[in-house]
Structure 1
Amino acid sequence: MRIRRVITTREGGHSQPPFDSFNLGGKVGDDPAALAANQRKLAEGIGLDQDRLVWMEQIHGRTATRVEAPHSAPVEATDALVTAVPNLALAALVADCVPVLLGDPDSGVVSAVHAGRVGARVGVVVAALKTMHQAGARIDRIEALLGPAACGQCYEVPPEMQADVERHLPGSACKTRNGTSGLDIRAGLWEQLAAAGVAGIGVDPRCTMESRELFSHRRDGPRTGRLAAVIWADPEGQQ
């Protein structure tokens, strides 16, 4: 079984400014026709039928939901999806939060996680790992990818917020490039995954706030798009 992972950028889609152009997020104010065209293009690009893409209604919580079949609408009120079904692609939408893609190539169990500051603080990745284990994954076989997100040099927060997150997600506190209190959520999640015994952890180093080819809520404000981080198990692929 081969674990496939894809992270989109904002380029090559159908949306008009300020969602230009490959926005994949609903409920951000984009033209529904453009969003639908972008979702079709994503499915075509990864070689799956569009109904094999599973989205979620992200709420910055810690719920992990197991899915066993395609869904015609986003899975309600969850921030992590888990499946053991081959060629069922799970998607997390972000524009500064950390997308976490988890896969066990032996069992074919995969998970897509939306880990923003709040979700990471309350343990959404831990919940995803637990649900993966229940679905047949082994933690020491899981490989993780932490996708593009707001980096610690850019993500400035009040000292009290930094201290609170650090208590719950050790390793996340940092200094910004301006010397102020900051958060590096990916660093904290790396520590959390390593402590859990995850087999391998990769990090996409791009910062959404710095990289113009990526969407950023903190840089551009609420009227911006969302990139997608997608994972699925390919039964015909080789490890």
Structure 2
Amino acid sequence: MRPGISVAFSDDDAGNLALHVADNPDDVMVRRARLEAAAGLGGRRFQYMNQVHGKAVEFISVPGDGPTADAMVSRGQPLAVMVADCVPVVLLGEVPDDVNPVLAVVHAGRPGVAADIVSATVVEMRNRGAAAISAWVGPSICGECYEVPEQLRTDVAAAVPETWSTTSWGTPALDLPAGVRAQLQALDITVEYSGECTRETARLFSYRRNQKTGRFAGLVWTHE
């Protein structure tokens, strides 16, 4: 990674970062501020979004109220994506002859993977000048843990064959991170990192493990 840019995925040490999970909003904002201080953002803040399992990609020029979208792109504005089993994807695009990179985050749940929100995000990044792009696929539920009805597995795998999977106990499943990695590789994007399974990792929030859970975040930011 180019010096002056950081990618990270939080865990339960940072606590719940979501405002929509019946947590105290004041406590959530304190945790977000603590995370921003630890990242050295100074007066800047991470931009979060209102994630709805859609395919909308928003370009963020100045921070503000979270857009209703499942992906964001910026030219330096720090970005955050929240998950608790879905696939958080962080992308970095180098811009030739420009010190300002193109940053992006993607919330790739089952609908987003099936609709290929990854490609829609990459199109926006390239429209904003990104040339070489690298990706970090964060922690998410693995193909041996994400049980789904058989028809749903068939439907999603028809769109993204790499998602077809079976649980460790022998029932139909989907491997969303494998689907995301395949979509990135088809776009000639280098996958720098692929995280562990949320359901199997106690320090990560997992909706499938406990429906009363928080959200951790995938983060990308530049250093001033």
Per the normalisation by structure 1, the TM-score is 0.87
CA distance in 2, matches of 1:105, 1:46: 21
CA distance in 1, matches of 2:66, 2:43: 13
CA contact (8 A) 1:102 1:143 kept: yes
The amino acid that maps onto 1:214 is L
CA contact (8 A) 1:109 1:132 kept: yes
4+ residue segments displaced more than 6 Å: none
1:209 aligns with 2:211: no
Aligned twin of 1:10: 12
Aligned twin of 1:224: 213
CA contact (8 A) 1:93 1:228 kept: yes
CA distance in 1, matches of 2:222, 2:40: 13
The amino acid that maps onto 2:66 is P
The amino acid that maps onto 1:97 is C
Question: Over residues 40-93 of structure 1, what are the superposed CA-to-partner deviations in whole Å (9 max), with x where a residue is unaligned?
Answer: 11101100036431010000001111011121x212x20000011x3x210000
The amino acid that maps onto 1:62 is K
Aligned twin of 2:72: 81
Task: Report the Cα offset of residue 32 of structure 1.
Answer: 1.2
The amino acid that maps onto 1:233 is T
Identity among equivalent positions (%) equals 36
Aligned twin of 1:132: 125
The amino acid that maps onto 2:208 is R
Q: Following superposition of structure 1 onto structure 2, how do residues 41-56 of structure 1 map, counting pairs within 5 Å?
A: 41-49=34-42, 51-56=44-49
- In structure 2, stretches of 5+ residues that fail to align are none
1:174 aligns with 2:165: yes
Q: Using a 3 Å threshold, how does the CA distance of structure 1 residues 160 and 50 change in structure 2: closer, same or farther?
A: farther
Task: Report the Cα offset of residue 182 of structure 1.
Answer: 0.9
Secondary structure at the aligned position of 1:54 is classed as: coil
Task: Report the Cα offset of residue 175 of structure 1.
Answer: 1.4
Report the count of equivalent residues: 218
Question: Over residues 88-122 of structure 1, what are the superposed CA-to-partner deviations in whole Å (9 max), with x where a residue is unaligned?
Answer: 21000000000000101345101011000111111
CA contact (8 A) 2:72 2:121 kept: yes
1:145 pairs with 125, 136, 156, which one? 136
CA contact (8 A) 2:116 2:183 kept: no
- In structure 1, stretches of 5+ residues that fail to align are 14-21
CA contact (8 A) 1:170 1:191 kept: no
Per the normalisation by structure 2, the TM-score is 0.93
